[in-house]
Amino acid sequence: MSPSTPPSPLATSAHPSQGTFKMPENSIPKEAAYQIINDELMLDGNPRLNLASFVTTWMEPECDKLIMAAINKNYVDMDEYPVTTELQNRCVNMIAHLFNAPLGDTETAVGVGTVGSSEAIMLAGLAFKRKWQNKRKAEGKPYDKPNIVTGANVQVCWEKFARYFEVELKEVKLREGYYVMDPEKAVEMVDENTICVAAILGSTLNGEFEDVKLLNDLLIKKNAETGWDTPIHVDAASGGFIAPFIYPELEWDFRLPLVKSINVSGHKYGLVYAGIGWVIWRNKEDLPDELIFHINYLGADQPTFTLNFSKGSSQVIAQYYQLIRLGNEGYRNIMENCRENAMVLKEGLEKTGRFNIVSKDDGVPLVAFSLKNNSRHDEFEVSDMLRRFGWIVPAYTMPPDAQHITVLRVVIREDFSRTLAERLVLDIVKVLHELDTLPAKISAKLAAAEEEAVEKKEVIKNGGHLKKSDLETQREITNAWKKFVMAKKTNGVC
């Protein structure tokens, strides 16, 4: 297979027997089926040691019981399960108040539970697109080229929305030392076709909160100058359940007039298993009526605005459990504890003298770091060797124009204790010592060989054409595969 034809992401990497792809002809005992699957699942990583993921991997046993009791409930059957529907509505209103939605005493919030923030972003984006199109149609202007302005650090679900729903994604490029969207550059890119500017409260790359307040102020000024009314959506997938509890004075939510919708992942720092997300709108006017469907073939009239239809009720119930079980006090204590454990890890890494810390102290509790010297061994090697200790720590390159920076990232979740943080530092030190005893990585050797070849290069002429040396051919193949691998690792960040 040539470097230009990478394997399909839908293909399996292994080569199992044909029997694993076809349903067996005969039944087997339930005990045997269980044992076969259970044995194979033992080869999966330990979710508690998966430091790549923001997604919750532990809940209290009482909540586990509620989840299992509701595992057979289809949430969409609102008439059959009215209490579950009521719990969802309570969650929407609690989260809306948490985000300072401008609600009256008797006014209910506008929002919906989703499978995750990806679906929530799709719904919010569709609302912005439809509202922009309706206004352009009324003004007799073209409405076929909508765009969204955001940073190059956005999660892949924004690229999915843009591609699936035919919206141009205008990305503000990053730069070394500044790994989030620059509000000034973002506002410069806004034009009459911009349906919204998307800000991130908790960048996937380094956990940093973007400056939504500055973005709001700059955009108000530009709207006044141009006559446009470009709004803001806040992707608070990671930070929406953090900022209200440990940064209550930070203005990023509906306190800012241009923020029209916010999404948050209940299955991240909302402390619920995957997959539950939420999208909240500022008020009813921000969600076009034509996007809401009314059905009655499951019972009474039921309004629905989701991309999918059926989904489990368990995660909605689990979210309500966490909200009433923990309350503001509980969430605050957990988030503060996560932040403290992140500081323990950060300080431990700094003491090694081998790493630069890329993440910020304020933001999502994670630690992103890079090697001060990766000429002999790089971050990908550190990541690979940590797997031998059971740790899953991702390494990835930054998006344009900071793609020359490679980082490792550890997400601190509720179940990541101070003891585990100290243990991880010890294992990282072991990995560094082992790498120091190994020969330099192949790419470093090639680079040194290339420099030597440049100094001693002899041009071999063959029929008036330059003939490539073996080293040059090897270099081209290596670079092609390196680009392919780098692209895969960057796109895999979640």
Whether residue 300 has pLDDT greater than 60: no
Displacement of CA 336 from its chain's centroid (Å) = 21
Q: What is the mean pLDDT of the chain?
A: 88
The upper half-sphere exposure of residue 42, i.e. CA atoms within 13 Å in the direction of its Cβ, equals 6
Q: What is the pLDDT of residue 490?
A: 47
Res 45: pLDDT:
86
Look at residue 343 and tell me whether its pLDDT is greater than 90: yes
* Cβ neighbours for 124, distance < 8 A, ≥ 6 positions apart: 233, 261, 263, 279, 281
**236: pLDDT strictly greater than 80:** yes
Model confidence band, residue 380 (pLDDT cutoffs 50, 70, 90): very high
Segment 316-320 mean pLDDT: 97
pLDDT at 304: 76
pLDDT score of 440 more than 50: yes
Task: Say whether pLDDT at 443 is over 70.
Answer: no
Place of tokens 């323990």: 344
Could you read off the pLDDT of 130-162 as tens digits, one per residue?
A: 999 999 999 999 999 999 999 999 999 999 999
From residue 384, alpha-carbon distances to 168, 237, 371 in Å are 36, 28, 15
Least confident of 78-87, 193-202, 255-264, 481-490: 481-490
Q: Which residue has the higher pLDDT, 330 or 302?
A: 330
Calpha distance 377→381 (Å, rounded): 7
Examine the pLDDT at 371 and tell me if it is beyond 50.
yes
pLDDT for res 106:
86
Task: Using the predicted structure, report yes or no on whether residue 452 has a pLDDT greater than 70.
Answer: no
Section 397-411 average pLDDT: 94
The sign of the CA dihedral 240, 242, 243, 245 is positive
Angle at 149 between CA 145 and CA 150, to 5 degrees: 145
pLDDT computed for residue 465 by the predictor: 52
Residue range 74-91: mean pLDDT, rounded:
88
117-131, 159-173, 290-304, 328-342 — which is least confidently predicted? 290-304
482 pLDDT band (50/70/90 cuts)?
low
* Band of pLDDT at residue 113, cut at 50, 70 and 90: very high
Examine the pLDDT at 357 and tell me if it is beyond 80.
Answer: yes
The token duo for 350 is 């700094």
Lowest-confidence segment of 304-308, 356-360, 398-402, 406-410 by average pLDDT: 304-308
pLDDT at res. 79:
76
Instruction: Say if CB 304 and CB 119 are below 8 A apart.
Output: no
pLDDT at 341 over 90: yes
Look at residue 17 in the predicted model and tell me its pLDDT. 57
Percent of the chain with pLDDT over 70: 84
pLDDT classification of 491: cutoffs 50, 70, 90: very low
For residues 277 and 268, the answer to whether their CB atoms sit within 8 Å is no
Confidence of residue 81 (pLDDT cuts 50, 70, 90): confident
pLDDT band at 448 (very low <50, low <70, confident <90, very high): low
pLDDT tens-digit profile of 213-232? Answer: 999 999 999 999 999 999 99
pLDDT at 492: 47
Checking if the pLDDT of 473 tops 90, the result is: no
